[in-house]
Structure 1
């Protein structure tokens, strides 16, 4: 068998074929090491101290007002996708929508592990419901409008903060003028109903939710994003593929988050 060297991919000239059956034997060693490192990182993440949540956050849901504890839907663990959909936006962030496209297929499996997954945005509930209906999603989605939730978890920022040209995001000061940025936060509720924050991930950390990227990484050309202005510049809402690209693809802060 002959294989095409990876560096030849995309060239217009005829590729040079080389014997390659033995080359693939080197990759599993690196892959196994990466898997072990990922497992260790997950253990260290779970070992971090939890932060008790005492602030009485309130959320608007289709079933009425809910506390943070009530968003768990009777389970002990909650994963929140901080979905970039601000008040008055015509549509949600394309990259957050790309993430959310993976959610529905995971819901039943996560529930079997005592985990609830839902999205939270700062937009009013009516605007969330309108966009959710357009996209055909069924996962839970709550509005944090009127609460400090998004601000406290460093995914929403005031105009005054944005005017300074940098915001506290992804555990450090980042250059940004965006009022909304993406993230995923994890919470635990004990038997007495007390809620704790265990971890949040931001920037490229949210790729944990994007199975499409995991498969693209196996494809011959990978993600094929090197020539793009930012990593997810190709992403559209799933009902907009085939339509011309618009400036809205980068106006929501996807570009900044894709770099981190």
Structure 2
């Protein structure tokens, strides 16, 4: 599929509205679950490099391997964030999966998050952004006030709803469009739905504060349709006068 297919027309029209107003919609990319250099990660970073798109790789600290460090080092547009500690579910059966919940003592969870930031800091140095990406995009509000003293400066979940208990010293920079239909067979969403949803989200951002909209990917589970959508999205937006791709620092800075 190319970016000239009919399903892209709502997005093209919306970006045209931004451009006509001499504005550029800000987009940013977060990819979850990076632990090692794989063909899928190489595909993702090559796509980003080809279109000049920065990517925030949410890495699982307990499982991060040396090969991931080499891949990030070789990818100037890649930055790393902390994806929990081990991406382990501690919720009881019947409840939604959660690593950073109230199922364990808070000091235990916070100790892991402190070690997570420290380990990735040793591995990636200045390429690490002090951003916490909670596994499954869930975190207990009781934990949020303690994150700044651990060294975190931002938290990134999904959906854009303000997190209860988030202190003013902790920025919230969410993703808004997930390519994967997790309840529909872990396949890529319909391309027309994705493009139309993004167009509607950009229209809402244009009418509000124009904050950056986050696109969420999971390179390890992408099917061919997900790769096709991402390639077409980059081709359409990377050089469009009504759009710009920003890194995590640009996303947290606001409009």
Could you state the TM-score of these two structures normalised by the residue count of structure 2? 0.29
Say which structure, 1 or 2, has more relative contact order (CA 8 Å, 6+ apart).
2
Could you state the TM-score of these two structures normalised by the residue count of structure 1? 0.29
More strand per residue: 1 or 2? 1
